[in-house]
Chain A
Amino acid sequence: MNQAWLTILKRDLLLAFRRRSDVATTVFFFLMVASLFPLGIGPEASVLSNIAPGVLWVAALLAGMISLTRMFAADFTDGSLEQLLLAPQPLAVLVSAKILAHWLVCGLPVVLLAPLIGLQYALPSEALWVLVWSLLLGTPSLSLIGAIGAALTLGVRGSGLLVALLVLPLYIPVLIFGAGAVAASQHGMSAQAHLSLLAACSLLSLVLAPLATAAALRISVE
C-alpha cells in the first residue's frame, strides 16, 4: 500500500515539476490579486491592515480554487484514472496522495509567500505569524474539500465554474476562522480558538474528503 501511495505522490510532484508553468499560474494569481488591493485602495496603513485578513484569505482561497479542475482532469482524459481505480489498494488512500501533492504544489507556496504580501498591508509581525499559521492549518482543508468538487465535476462541460459554485460555500467556515484568527491577533486577542477550529476543519476533512472523493470518482468514471 505504501509503495502505491508513494508512487502516486512522487508521480504528481514530478509532473508538477515538469509543468512548472501550471504551478506558477497559481502563485502569480495569488500575488496579483493580493497586490491589487493596496494599489486600488491607497496606501493608508490603517485601512489596509483592517482589510488584510479577509483579503489575503480570499486571495489564497481563489488561488487554490483555480487549480482544482486540474487535479483529476488530465488523469481522466489520458486513462490513468482508470488504472488508479483498478489498483489493488483502497482508492481513498491513493486519492489522499493526490490531494497531498496538490496541496504541496498549490497550497504550500501560498503559505510561504503570505508574510511577504502581508508586509504590503502593514501587518505587525505578530499578525504575520498568525497569518502563516492560519494558512498552514487551513489550506489543507481547502485542497481536501476541493478534491470532492473536482471529482464530482469531472468530464462535465464548464466544470471550472461549476467547481466554484460547489466548493466556495463549503470554504466559508475555513475563511471565517482563518481571517478571524488574524483579526483577533491584530486586536490584541489570542488567536488560539480560531486556529484550533481551523485545525479541526482540516482534520475532519482529512477523514471524510478522501472517501467522498473516491466515491465521486467512481461515479464520474462510469
Chain B
Amino acid sequence: MLIAQDLVCLRGDRLLFKQVGFTLSAGGLMTVLGENGSGKSSLLRIVCGLLTPELGVLTWQGQPIKQASEDYHSKLTYIGHLNGLKDDLTAMENLQISARLAGEHVDDQAALAALTAIGIARCAKLPVGVLSQGQKRRVALARLWLSHTPLWVLDEPFAALDTASVLTLATCISAHMARGGMTIITTHQDVIIDAQTTQTLRLCA
C-alpha cells in the first residue's frame, strides 16, 4: 500500500502543488490530471523518490520510502518522459539491459516476446537511434511486459503512440491491475483501463 500525505512541491521558488495526498492499494489505478506545468511529472518523480518533496511523507507498506529505498525500488517500475534508451544499442540490447538493471532475469526469447507484444519485433536488431519517436517509446514500454513489480509509475505512456499501440498498452496495464498491481499514470488521452478501484487526482496550484 502506498500512502502520500500533505505533499508540497516547490521548483525554484514556484509552488507547483500543496496538500496532495492519496492512498493506493492493491489493484488500484490512479490517474493524475492537470494542465501542462501543473506538476504531474514532478509528483511522479516524488513517488519514485527521484525528487524530495518540500514537505509531506510518502510511505510504502508503512515505511517512509527514503528509508526503504532499495527494497522499494525493487517493487517499482518507472517509465518517465525520457525513454532511457541508448541510441547506439539495438532495441533488443536496450530492453535486456534495462530489464536486467531492474533485477529481472530475461533471455533473448522473453525480450523478443515483449517486443513482439508491442509490435516492434521487426526493429529488434536495429540501433534505437534510427527509430522514430513512437517506435522508441514502444521499445521503452516493452519493459512493462517483462516487469514483475507491483507498482507501475507511468508518465504519459500513451504520448507518441499510434491507436493500435495505445490499445495494446491499455490491455497490458489492465492485465497488471487484474494481477493485483498498482498503477499511477498521467495522460491527456481518454483510455479505458480496467481496474478494481479507480481514482483521479487533479493538480492545481
Chain A residues within 8 Å of B, Cβ to Cβ: 3-4, 7-8, 11, 14-15, 18-19, 74, 77-80, 82-90, 221-222
Contact = CB atoms under 8 A, between A and B. Distances in A.
A88 B105 CA distance: 14
10 cross-chain pairs, A with B, having the tightest CB-CB distances, nearest first: A79-B82, A88-B74, A79-B84, A18-B88, A88-B73, A80-B84, A7-B100, A83-B84, A87-B101, A88-B103
B97 interface: yes
Contacts of B83: 78-79
A82 B48 CA distance: 10
B165 interface: no
Given A79-B82, A79-B84, A82-B82, A18 B100 contact: no
Interface string B76-112: 1010111111111100010001101111010000000
B85 A88 contact: no
Given A83-B102, A88-B71, A222-B52, A11 B80 contact: no
Nearest to A76: B82
B175 to A, nearest CB: 22
B89 A18 contact: yes
A89 B93 contact: no
Nearest to A79: B82
Contact of B70 (A8, A78, A83, A88): A88
B85 A80 contact: yes
Contact of B103 (A4, A18, A74): A4
Nearest to B102: A87
Nearest to B51: A222
A27 to B, nearest CB: 19
A89 B70 contact: yes
9 contacts: A8-B101, A74-B86, A82-B78, A83-B84, A86-B73, A86-B76, A88-B103, A89-B70, A222-B50
Given A18-B88, A87-B102, A88-B70, A79 B80 contact: yes
A52 to B, nearest CB: 38
A83 B89 contact: no
A90 to B, nearest CB: 7
Interface in B26-57: 48-52
B97 A7 contact: yes
Contacts of A82: 50, 78, 80, 82, 84
A85 B102 CA distance: 10
B101 A83 contact: yes
B47 to A, nearest CB: 11
Contacts of B51: 222
Given A78-B87, A83-B98, 5 more contacts: A7-B101, A11-B86, A19-B88, A80-B86, A86-B102
Nearest to B100: A7
A82 B76 CA distance: 13
A18 B87 CA distance: 10
Contacts of A87: 73, 101-103
Nearest to A6: B100
A207 B36 CA distance: 43
B54 to A, nearest CB: 12
Listed residue (B71, B74, B88, B101) with the most chain A CB atoms within 10 angstroms of its CB: B101
Contacts of A4: 100-101, 103
B72 to A, nearest CB: 8
Contacts of B78: 82-83, 86
Contacts of A86: 48-50, 73, 76, 78, 102
A14 B83 CA distance: 19
Contacts of A8: 101
A14 B103 contact: no
Nearest to A87: B101
Contacts of A80: 84-86, 98
